[in-house]
A and B are shown apart, each in its own frame.
Chain A
Amino acid sequence: MTSSLDPIASGRFPAGALAFPHRDLIAISALERHEILYLLQEAERWVTFNRQPAKHTDTLSGLTIINAFFENSTRTLVSFEIAGKRLGADVVNMHAATSSVKKGETLIDTAMTLNAMRPDAIVIRHGASGAVRLLAGKVDCPVLNAGDGQHEHPTQALLDALALRHKLRERGEGAEDFTGLTITICGDILHSRVARSNILCLQAMGASVRVCAPPSLMPEGIEAMGAQPFHDFDAALRGADVVMMLRLQNERMDGQFIPSPREFRYLFGLTQERLALAVDDAIVMHPGPMNRGVEIDSNVADLPERSIITAQVEMGVAIRMACLDVLTRRLRGVPGWAPNSPAGDMV
């Protein structure tokens, strides 16, 4: 099965483990542009692979992957689970409600307990910013961040980039990166880890990023991250090539941030009329879950030629397969990735 996959394009990335010299995937902020592009390229073969009827390889056969989710999740958990299973790994899901495993040493103890079961990779989602990094410091295997508080959600940004790149290529605008594109991210920027990872990832790929939210949901200093802040959605949409909508993260709100969902829709909802302000054929994205009729109208979310919301979900599995594959290469002794082999062995 693996023989039918595209070989890594030689010469475009540093050889072997130098292409991705990190044990963990915690944050886009820790990645170089070429490392992002490498993960995207690695994911391409899994996109093709996942479209076959038989979707199983033994690449990670014998490895144990724990999905430790300290915060509720449906799509990300299922996506990681499918990714691990299609790669042939033994996947275990651990649901730990945030409330029961939050205090004191329990979090560290949980990490040490999981570590003692000798997993080969741990995927962690946690409600507190920095928690995944903290846990990664206590375990001996690669750790993938599936979202930590309001900090980062790196695989989401990678899958968004992959989905967008596919759409552009499908339209024949097939550049490798997003140079020249203007991308507007609108919604609850303050509480969004997706926004932070995407701002960093999209800019690393050359795009100009606008963020749009009411002042109460706009983090101070966002312009220092390179994003251009807007409070007027119409202005933020003018000339935008891509519109990415985010939901209101009511579960993270400490107090009242907006008067009501319908008032939010009035000012910041993506309607067909508003979408017309963006460039013709502007692409519509949403990381989900969507609140139809609040931040995005159904007739926009379901636009066949414009919305790539379901493609984002599809790309999620491929991206997570690529990340699991790349991060476990060292322990699998893949030539060029094993600790003692010269990096040049790879190609």
Chain B
Amino acid sequence: MKQRTLTITGGKLVTGEGVAPGAVRCVDGLIDAVGDIAAQDGDEIFDAGGKLVAPGLVDLGVFAIDKPAFHFGGITRAGLMPDADPPLDHPARVRFAAQSGKPDFWVHPLAAATAGLAGESLSEIALMREAGAKAIATGRKWIADSGVMLRLMQYAAMLDMVVIAHAEDSAIAGNAAATAGEMATRLGIPSAPKQAETLALARDIALAEMTGARLHVRQITTAQGLALVREAKARGVGITAGVTPAHFMLSDLAMAEFRTFARLSPPLRSEEDRQAVIAALGDGTIDVVSSGHDPRGPEDKNLPFADAASGMAGAETLLAMVLTLVRDEVIDMPRAFALMAQNPAQLLGVEAGALDMGAEADIAIIDAEAPWVVDSRKMAASAGNTPFDRQPVQGRVTALWKGGAAIAL
């Protein structure tokens, strides 16, 4: 089906160079021209009215395909974690998942590194790549067996696929639901020291360095962990780091009154660590901010804290939370979209995440100032488990296109 050519005018384009007035012309679902261009006769014209014209967000590492929430948040593609039931450890399931969002949302499945995500035997990664997997993920958990992790990284290096890892030493973390510290002690919640992250990360960095594999750690949440990444990057190790807004917006104080919406994995850290995450976003140590979208209903969350499932519904709030960093001058606007679109697209190896000629026309119009209040009772997501409930925020998507086709918001 031929699409009518679309030209978005009157907006401010967010590109790697900066934010500048300009237009984007989309032909047959691809970006045909960007910048100081004019609409041509017969084009459908969309007037952005001075708002930001930005690439659709690429959300690396989500646990559910929840289109209304993603579209609300300006997200047009997501890397789907393999932690489904059954896990994405078989080519057929990967193939199915890869088609599950089309046409208005693209799912990039992440292949389960090990069969059943049990951390014991490698799954058929090359066959899953053939079926559409864009990267390999260890899942919600760390692979405890270092021998398995070594062979995984060697294999991933051969296939030139990124390994997306979870950095939490499972023997130290045990059944912990919080970071050891005053808050966990007062509430009596089982906790583990934050060094569970440092230890896991140190091993995985050593293996990445040894094998030459590309390692992306989905969430790094402590000052010590970020220091390890900084040093590894300086040595030229192929490592990238991610985080979700929870760890730069909230500390473990958010667990007060046993609020299970603040039960996350890794758990919320101290204020000192939160500040370290913000600094790492500012200095470039962190490459990706993702939503970690994991909608959980009352049957998973209306429980005693440690019994509740971890995870947050984050897709709707990702953009607004990252824009707080722009307003606080931690990062500038182009870097915000590098964190949320360009860098994750690069890790997945997909032609998206930037307003580049020839790329898929995944475009969001964003009113960066628009105020709204996060309300867990009125979420587009399939469940309202946001740790940011009742928080006033700014920044909202007002129009969205996936491959040049408008999405009703």
Contact = CB atoms under 8 A, between A and B. Distances in A.
Interface stretch (A38-46, A86-94, A156-164, A221-229): A221-229
A150 B188 contact: yes
Contacts of B302: 105, 108, 134
Nearest to A131: B304
Interface string A202-230: 00000000000000000111101100000
A254 B258 contact: no
B258 A129 contact: yes
Contacts of A29: 186
B240 to A, nearest CB: 31
B266 to A, nearest CB: 16
Given A149-B188, A196-B188, A225-B185, A220 B193 contact: yes
Given A133-B257, A221-B180, A152 B304 contact: no
A255 interface: yes
A101 to B, nearest CB: 12
Nearest to A227: B185
A221 B304 contact: no
A29 B183 CA distance: 13
Contacts of A104: 299-300, 303
Contacts of A107: 303-304
Contacts of B184: 219-221
Interface in A276-320: none
Interface size class of B (residues with CB under 8 A): 20 to 34
Residue of B174, B189, B298 most packed against chain A (CB within 10 A): B189
Given A105-B302, A149-B188, A221-B182, A128 B257 contact: no
A102 B299 CA distance: 12
Interface in A148-206: 148-152, 193, 196
A131 B303 CA distance: 7
B392 interface: no
Contacts of B186: 29, 196, 221, 224-225
B40 interface: no
Contact of B299 (A105, A126, A128, A130): A105
A193 B188 CA distance: 7
B180 A134 contact: no
A193 B300 CA distance: 25
A254 B175 contact: yes
B277 to A, nearest CB: 20
A224 B185 contact: yes
A130 B187 contact: yes
Interface in A124-144: 126, 128-131, 133-134
A129 B305 contact: yes
Contacts of A222: 185
A136 to B, nearest CB: 11
Contact of A152 (B174, B188, B190, B257): B188
A126 B182 CA distance: 22
Nearest to A126: B304
B123 interface: no
Given A254-B175, A255-B174, A220 B303 contact: no
B349 interface: no
Contact of A221 (B175, B185, B298, B306): B185
B181 interface: yes
Contact of B258 (A102, A130, A221): A130
A134 B193 contact: no
A67 to B, nearest CB: 19
B285 interface: no
Given A108-B302, A133-B257, A134-B258, A102 B188 contact: no
A254 B174 contact: yes
5 contacts: A104-B303, A108-B302, A152-B188, A221-B184, A222-B185
Given A129-B188, A219-B191, A224-B186, 10 more contacts: A104-B300, A105-B298, A107-B304, A128-B306, A128-B307, A151-B187, A151-B188, A196-B188, A221-B183, A224-B182
The 9 closest A-B CB pairs, nearest first, are A128-B304, A130-B258, A150-B188, A221-B182, A151-B188, A220-B180, A224-B182, A129-B188, A131-B304
